[in-house]
Amino acid sequence: MPLLKQAGPDVLLTVRVQPRAARDEVAGKRGEALHLRLAAPPVAGAANAACLTFLADLLAVPKARLRLVGGPRSRTKVIRIAEATVAAVAARLAPHR
């Protein structure tokens, strides 16, 4: 799956999560996914919650517009960003890729 994909009025973003990192940060692009380092451990959904919170801040959108739609127990995840365009999301991610 590509890094960004338009799905009707929403955008699907593929991320690769590295839990238990020293800090929350974007570590560039890894294959066809945005590589995120998150301080949260992969226990009881903590890394998934941290991923959504970090992306909401990064993209400057309310957390309610983000939803994990793929990979809840995998390091590779698919996030649905409601009411967004690929161009708008790509513009927000450009400084971090």
CATH assignment of the domain containing 77: 3.30.1200.10
Domain count of the chain? 1
Please give the residue range of the domain that contains residue 35: 4-96
The per-residue pLDDT for range 65-92, each reduced to its tens digit, is 999 999 999 999 999 999 999 999 999 9
Q: Over the chain, what HEC string results?
A: CCCEEEECCEEEEEEEEECCCCCCEEEEEECCEEEEECCCCCCCCHHHHHHHHHHHHHHCCCHHHEEEEECCCCCEEEEEECCCCHHHHHHHHHHHC
For residue 54, what pLDDT is reported?
97
For residue 2, what pLDDT is reported?
81
Say if residue 1's pLDDT is above 80: no
